[in-house]
Amino acid sequence: MNYLAHIYLSGDDPLITMGNFMADGIKGKQYKTYLPQLQKGILLHRSIDSFTDSHPIVKQSTKRLHKKYSHYSGVIVDILYDHFLAKNWKNYSEKPLAGFIEHFYDSLDEHFELLTPGIQRMVPHMIADNWLLSYKDISGIGTVLYNMNRRTRNISGMDRAVEDLQLHYHDFEDEFTRFFEELRVFCIQKIIELDTVFSIK
């Protein structure tokens, strides 16, 4: 899953959210050097990634793209799924998407010193261009995929994946909807499990 989903799935604890948000830059046992609530977020992120990567519905989505994009297909599906989360936000939260995102940006500012250096460099660009809100529009997803392609020095061809999104729009949306219900339940249970583990330490 991409940024918006990881943030949403973190629950209400801002430090768990920060840990989940920055987890990609923290390798191996490095997570143990962080505050306990940040550790929970990092471990939650890893569990989300493992659950997602092994799920048959997600594999169905990535298979549709694999011939054209090879190992980049998983990255593309993560981005496409964030589009459907943003587009159908009212199905998942009573708080308006714009307000949810604004609250997250405020939390980033409040906890900026806790973030990894790489995330600290990224955050101003994310906020200035309002990446998270842009996900709800196909044009916004197109921009994300274009920039991701540039990061691969135009090798991935990910900029063309917006055409695949439009061509198979309803299939991707159906797969996201079915998968995300399972992922939401998994994350609720995982946060309870992590709370139990850390309370014993």
How many separate helices (H) and strands (E) can be counted in the chain? 11, 0
39: its two tokens: 């550790």
- Which residues, including other chains, have CB under 8 Å from residue 31's CB and lie 6 or more apart? 19, 23, 38, 39, 42, 43
Tally of structural domains, the chain: 1
* Integer Cα distance of 157 and 18 in angstroms: 31
* Per-residue pLDDT tens digits for 120-178: 999 999 999 999 999 999 999 999 999 999 999 999 999 999 999 999 999 999 999 99
* Integer Cα distance of 152 and 51 in angstroms: 26
* Integer Cα distance of 22 and 28 in angstroms: 14
- Residue 53's domain comprises 3-200
pLDDT at 201: 63
Mean pLDDT of 80-109: 97
* Integer Cα distance of 44 and 190 in angstroms: 7
The structure's pTM equals: 0.95
CB burial class (10 A; 0-12, 13-18, 19+) of residue 168? middle
User: CB under 8 Å, gap of 24 or more: what pairs does 129-134 form?
Assistant: 130/101, 131/3, 132/3, 132/4, 132/7, 132/86, 132/101, 132/104, 133/86, 133/97, 133/98, 133/101
Mean pLDDT of 35-48: 97
Question: Mean pLDDT, the chain, as a whole number?
Answer: 96
pLDDT at 199: 86
pLDDT at 200: 78
* Per-residue pLDDT tens digits for 49-66: 999 999 999 999 999 999
3-class DSSP state of 154: coil
Q: Are 111 and 15 in contact (CB under 8 A)?
A: yes
